[in-house]
């Protein structure tokens, strides 16, 4: 009898944990949707600054800065691909 109670408790804990993970997955809008990416999303995008293709660097930024940011983002993307 004791064993059954223990199994029941263990199952309950597992179900609770699983539902928490599901809820986080369903409502985790703040996290990048890219696999294994834990960065926060940018506005109006389901992805972070690195993975959101919609992201645009503000036009008032110096074009050189703009270029270097894009280059860094590209490098980051390449590194992420390599690590997979």
Residues at the interface with Zn ion (CB under 5 A) = 32, 34, 37, 39, 48, 51
> Of the two residues 34 and 66, which places its CB atom closer to Zn ion in the complex?
34
Residue 55 DSSP one-character state: -
> Of the two residues 44 and 62, which places its CB atom closer to Zn ion in the complex?
44
> Least distance to Zn ion from the beta carbon of 51, Å?
4
> Least distance to Zn ion from the beta carbon of 74, Å?
14
> Least distance to Zn ion from the beta carbon of 50, Å?
5
Q: Are 45 and 31 in contact (CB under 8 A)?
A: no
Number of H helices, E strands in the chain: 2, 0
| Residue 15: alpha-carbon gap to chain centroid | 23
> Of the two residues 17 and 74, which places its CB atom closer to Zn ion in the complex?
74
Query: What whole-number distance in Å separates Cα of residue 61 and Cα of residue 6?
Result: 61
């Amino acid at each position: 009898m004791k064993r059954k109670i223990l199994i029941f408790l263990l199952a309950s804990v597992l179900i609770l944990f699983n539902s928490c993970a599901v809820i986080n997955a369903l409502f985790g809008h703040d996290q990048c949707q890219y696999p294994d990416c834990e960065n926060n999303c940018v506005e109006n995008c389901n992805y972070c600054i690195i993975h959101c293709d919609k992201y645009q660097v503000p036009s008032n930024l110096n074009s050189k800065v703009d270029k270097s940011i894009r280059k860094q983002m590209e490098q980051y993307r390449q590194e992420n691909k390599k690590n997979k």
